[in-house]
Chain A
Amino acid sequence: MEIGLGNLFTIIISVVFVNNFVLARFLGLCPFLGVTQKTESAMGMGMAVTFVMTLASAVTWFIYNYLLLPGEHNLFGVLFPTIKETGMIDVLKTISYILVIATLVQLVETVMRKTSPALYEGLGIYLPLITTNCAVLGVALLGTTNAPARLSLLEASVQGFAAGIGFLIAMLLMSGIRERLAVLNVPRSFQGVPIAFISTALMALAFMGFSGMVSW
C-alpha cells in the first residue's frame, strides 16, 4: 500500500470518529466509566492513554515484523532456522504484547518522574491503570495481527495516536455529561452506572452518524 497523506488522513478519521474505540468498538470501557466523574481526571487519563497507545503501536509493530512474522527478516530465525518458516504469531503475540505494554508503562512512569515532574503529577496515578486497559492491547492487535491490511510503521503509529485521541474525545464528552448528571434528579435505580450506560448508548447512536464516511 502506498503511503500518502490521504491514506493517513483516512486512518485518522476512521479511528477517531467512525470506529471510535470506546463508542463503536467497546474498548477501554473500564476507565471510560471509572475515571469520568471529573473533567480533569478524564483529561489526564485520556492524555496518558494517548501517549502509551502511540508508543505501544510503534513498539509492537517492530515486534510483529521482526520477531513474530515468518520470513527471512525474522530475528529468531538466525538462531532457530525453523522459525523462519513458521513464525510465532499464534503462540507469542498475546504474551509479548502485554509484556511490552507493561514494560512501556513502567518506563514511561520512571522517565516522566525524572524529566517532567509536573506532567508526572498530572498523569502519575493513571499510568499504572493503563497496563490493564484493553484499548491499549486492542490498538496493538489492530495495528499488527488484526489489521485490515499490512500497515507501515508510520501508519501503525498514526493509528495508535488517533485511537488515543478518539478515546480522549469520548472521555471528555462523557465527563461533561456526567458532571451535569450529578446535579440532576435521576431516578434512584438509574443513579450512577446505569444512567452512564444509557448516556453512552445515545453518544454511540450519535457517532453512528459518521459511519460510511470512510471505508477502512
Chain B
Amino acid sequence: MKELTLQEELTKGFWHQNPLFVAVLGNCPALAVTTTITNGLAMGAAVIMVMMCSNIIISLIRKQVPKEVRIPCYIVVIAAFVTIVELLMKAYLPPEINESLGIFIPLIVVNCIIMYRAEVFASQYSVLRSAIDGIGMGMGFTVALVIISAIREAAGCGTILGIRISETYQPASIMIMAPGAFLVLGLLLAFFNYRKLSRGEKV
C-alpha cells in the first residue's frame, strides 16, 4: 500500500473509508442519538475528541505494550478519555443534550470504530499520523451522523436545526422513533451500494 500524504490521511475517512457508511461500524450510537442534528453533532464531537486522544496515546505506547494484553490496555486508555469527555460535556453543554445522549456517552468505550482504528492504525503508525487519522475518522463519523440526523429530523419533526422547513408538512413521528432509524440507515446503505454498482464497482 502506498504512503498517503497527511492531507489524504485526514480526508480518507470522510467518504471513501467512511467508518459508518463503508465499514458499517458504530451502528448503536449512530442510530440511537440521531433524532436531531444537534445531538448528532454533539456525539460526533465527543467521538472525534476521544479518538484523537486515544490514538495519540496508543501510538505512543505501541512499542511497549505486549501483543497479548494490547486489547485490555487499549480499552483502559479509551475508557479514561471517555470519562474526561463525559465530564467536560456535563460541565459545558446544555443539560438537554446530556439528557438525550444519556448512556451513549459512556458507551463510546465500546464503539467499534475507536477500537478498530486503534488496532489497525494507531498501533502501527507514528503519533502525528495516528492523531490525524483519529480526527479524520471522527469527522467522517460526524458527517454520517449529521446526514442521518438531518433526514430523521426533517421527516420526523419537520425541522432542520430547530427551524420549521414547511408550514404544511405533517411530521411523521415514526422517523424519530426506533423503526425510522433502522429504515433510514438501511436505505442510505442501499443508496451507496446502488451508486457503486452503477459505476461498475464491487459492493
Query: With A29-B28, A197-B182 as given contacts, are A137 and B107 in contact (CB-CB < 8 Å)?
Result: yes
Does residue B31 face the partner (Cβ distance < 8 Å to A)? yes
| B residues near A195, Cβ cutoff 8 Å | 186, 190
Does residue B109 face the partner (Cβ distance < 8 Å to A)? yes
| B residues near A111, Cβ cutoff 8 Å | none
Question: On chain B, which size bracket covers the interface?
Answer: 35 or more
Closest CB-CB distance, B106 to chain A, in whole Å?
Answer: 5
A94 touches B79 (CB 8 A): yes
A95 touches B189 (CB 8 A): no
B28 touches A28 (CB 8 A): yes
A138 touches B103 (CB 8 A): yes
Closest to B83 in A: A94
Closest to A19 in B: B178
Does residue B82 face the partner (Cβ distance < 8 Å to A)? yes
CB proximity to A under 8 Å, residues B94-153: 102-103, 106-107, 109-112, 115
Q: Size of chain A's interface in residues, with CB distance under 8 A?
A: 47
| A residues near B103, Cβ cutoff 8 Å | 138, 141-142, 146
How far is A104 from B76 in the complex, measured between Cα atoms in Å?
15
Partner among B90, B112, B179, B193 whose Cβ is within 8 Å of the Cβ of A190:
B193
Partner among B86, B87, B177, B183 whose Cβ is within 8 Å of the Cβ of A208:
B177
Closest CB-CB distance, B112 to chain A, in whole Å?
Answer: 6
How far is A198 from B103 in the complex, measured between Cα atoms in Å?
25
Does residue B163 face the partner (Cβ distance < 8 Å to A)? no
Closest to A99 in B: B76
B24 touches A33 (CB 8 A): yes
| A residues near B106, Cβ cutoff 8 Å | 93-94, 97, 137, 141
How far is A30 from B109 in the complex, measured between Cα atoms in Å?
14
Partner among A97, A191, A200 whose Cβ is within 8 Å of the Cβ of B182:
A200
Provide the B1-45 mask, 1 if CB < 8 A to any CB of A, else 0: 000000000000000000000001101110110000000000000
Does residue A8 face the partner (Cβ distance < 8 Å to B)? no
| B residues near A93, Cβ cutoff 8 Å | 106
B110 touches A204 (CB 8 A): no
Closest CB-CB distance, A18 to chain B, in whole Å?
Answer: 12
Query: With A26-B178, A194-B186, A197-B182 as given contacts, are A189 and B197 in contact (CB-CB < 8 Å)?
Result: yes
Provide the A195-216 mask, 1 if CB < 8 A to any CB of B, else 0: 1111011101101100000000
CB proximity to B under 8 Å, residues A98-143: 98-99, 102, 131-134, 137-138, 141-142
Give the interface of A toward B (CB within 8 A). 23-30, 33, 90-95, 97-99, 102, 131-134, 137-138, 141-142, 146, 187-198, 200-202, 204-205, 207-208
Q: A90-B83, A208-B179 are in contact. List 7 more A-B contacts (CB 8 A).
A: A29-B31, A33-B24, A98-B75, A131-B71, A134-B28, A193-B186, A193-B189
